[in-house]
Amino acid sequence: MESKGHKIVLGLGAVSGVASLYYCVFSENNKAFTSWTTGYNVNVSGLVKWDENWDHRSPKYTKNTRHILNEKDENVVNEERDTLKPKASRHLILIRHGQYNLQGLTDNERTLTKLGRLQAECTAKRLKELNLPYTIIIKSTMARAQETASIISQSLSQVPVKSCDLLREGAPIPPEPPLGKYRPQAYKFYQDGSRIEAAFRKYFHRADGSQLADTYTLLVCHANVIRYFVCRALQFPPEAWLRLSLNHASITWITITPGGRCVLRLLGDSGYMPPDLITTT
């Protein structure tokens, strides 16, 4: 921390595959900077390589091999690693909330519009038609996401539901390039970014070795959160999140394979809705 010149630097502690923000306060101007992007892992040809241990769960890196003295020790370590190898995939299906009342002054007033409820009903119908073995519905605690999830839950009544504060809307990271009037105060990136990154780490990881069947988790949340998740999962520069656009109540689907690969199956799909129901803002 440096007080001279009215400058303060706060760090979240960057680690491999984890974005951190530095919050710099100046006497006349506030700025938030990213200290990490996925471009750190570049080889001589300029190719950005995939970090296979992005979730820090790769069996290859979970066992300390310093004690290996002979072939017997090596066999023991390999057997232990085999028990940790995932055998199933994790499917994360991200749902943006429906259109909501932008005139609301508080979160409780920003409920779904009539159109937003129709959009959520279309998505609920689509999810039911897909007939996937959904594991759980996890919803943001903001009113528009809660209402959207409730409509979806009516069509998937057997699927358990829970709420999560980490999935609330926010400003995940300063976008590159900046866009129009979207210029939150630097402290918003500092506060929201760490929370949204925590949500990513909580829900995005390969399956445990004990998981024998694929899981299908529905996350009902917000556009900024989903766009950031997509960039992080695909190891794209997270600053690119604002270059993506998502329609209301759209479906984004990411599969994490047993080997740790992240596959984007759908991005903002809303083609199942009548054209007159499709909106973005």
Residue 4 maps to a domain: no
Q: Which residue has the tokens 């994490």?
A: 256
Distance CA 78, CA 242 (A): 43
- Nearest-Å Rg of the Cα atoms of the chain is 21
Residue 7 maps to a domain: no
Q: Are 54 and 260 in contact (CB under 8 A)?
A: yes
- 224: helix, strand or coil: helix
HSE (side-chain half, CA atoms, 13 Å) at 204: 31
The CATH number of whichever domain residue 146 belongs to comes to: 3.40.50.1240
Q: State the maximum Cα–Cα separation within the chain, in Å, rounded to a whole number.
A: 69
pLDDT of amino acid 122: 98
Domain membership of residue 111 as a residue range: 90-185+204-277
Residue 105 maps to a domain: yes
Distance CA 91, CA 256 (A): 6
Residue 3 maps to a domain: no
Domain count, the chain: 1
Residue pLDDT tens, the chain, 281 long: 444 444 433 344 333 344 444 444 333 455 555 544 555 565 656 677 899 999 998 887 765 555 555 665 556 556 676 677 899 999 999 999 999 999 999 999 999 999 999 999 999 999 999 999 999 999 999 999 999 999 999 999 999 999 999 999 999 999 999 887 777 888 889 899 999 999 999 999 999 988 999 999 999 999 999 999 999 999 999 999 999 999 999 999 999 999 999 999 999 999 999 999 999 98
Q: Which residues are part of a known binding site?
A: 96-101, 144
pLDDT of amino acid 278: 98
- 199: helix, strand or coil: helix
Contacts 24+ apart (CB under 8 A), 18-25: 18/197, 18/201, 19/173, 19/193, 19/197, 19/232, 19/238, 21/173, 21/174, 21/189, 21/190, 21/193, 21/194, 23/186, 23/187, 23/189, 23/190, 24/186, 25/186
pTM greater than 0.75: yes
Q: Which residues are part of a known binding site for substrate?
A: 96-101, 144
Return the structure tokens found at 19. Answer: 């974005």
Measured in whole angstroms, the distance separating CA 8 from the mean position of its chain's CA atoms is 29
Residue 36 maps to a domain: no
pLDDT of amino acid 192: 95
Residue 115 maps to a domain: yes
Return the structure tokens found at 54. Answer: 């992005």
